Structure 1
């Protein structure tokens, strides 16, 4: 194994999968491992991991906030702190937040980072879904239902 993979490590693919040929877990290494670790870090709320309660990034608490410059700055700060404390393999250069999909319920967070082992720059785009699990009203065209219909679609 080369020096970069030694430093960056090898981990389970996420979501976990198994290889029938090797009868073992599918493993990833290098930049793929770093990006999967970033995805896990950003989707884990602090307190979810019993043995490591401080691990994670509290982005979910921002879901119901009004999206203004102050909120976007706080989101950047939360991400910076999480990466600083829990992802030592990279140096974060910049965070850009694309709000063009805000009314569709998604913020696209672009992380520009440098791998410390090779001094190579990479980008990672993380979609933060703001309407995940949203309950749509009966007259909302996205629900596909109108008044008089029920979720069972045949039950009157």
Structure 2
């Protein structure tokens, strides 16, 4: 069984680098992509979705629809070889952005439904 490094990086109870299964690692990659703002990574300035910017924008159906399209495009571009997006729902309340994502892990064929929350 393959083990990857857990995100966020932490030390396990045994004093070693915490690991993650393939499914957990895939979820961690999605979370990194969703909550990284474009321009935040020096060597990959176009990586990310800019979701946390939604907190400071007036939310309306037009903005959410445009942002959903942007998130889908980012997921396809950066993680399309790992997952297939089945459903995506975005919402913002106060300083919290919530993403409900249904996806299939291509390697295992497992279908997952996850909720990701970020605070600005």
In which range does the TM-score fall when normalised by the shorter chain?
0.7 to 0.9
Instruction: Tell me if the contact between 2:41 and 2:47 (Cα under 8 Å) persists in the aligned partners.
Output: yes
Aligned: 1:106 with 2:99:
no
Aligned: 1:123 with 2:116:
no
Name which of 75, 84, 89 aligns with 1:91: 84
Bigger Cα displacement from structure 2, 30-39 vs 55-64: 55-64
Instruction: Tell me if the contact between 1:17 and 1:26 (Cα under 8 Å) persists in the aligned partners.
Output: yes
Structure 1 length as normaliser, TM-score? 0.66
Can you give the 5+ residue segments of structure 1 that lack an aligned partner in the other structure?
A: 133-156
Aligned: 1:16 with 2:16:
no
CA distance in 2, matches of 1:109, 1:20: 30
Q: Which of structures 1 and 2 has the larger relative contact order (alpha carbons within 8 angstroms, sep 6+)?
A: 2
Structure 1 residue runs of 4 or more that deviate by more than 6 Å after TM superposition: none
SS of 1:18's equivalent? coil
Structure 2 length as normaliser, TM-score? 0.84
Can you give the 5+ residue segments of structure 2 that lack an aligned partner in the other structure?
A: none
CA distance in 1, matches of 2:77, 2:61: 24
- Give the CA RMSD over aligned residues: 2.0
Instruction: Sort the Cα spacing of 1:75 and 1:128 in 2 relative to 1 into closer, same or farther, 3 A.
Output: farther
Aligned residues: 119
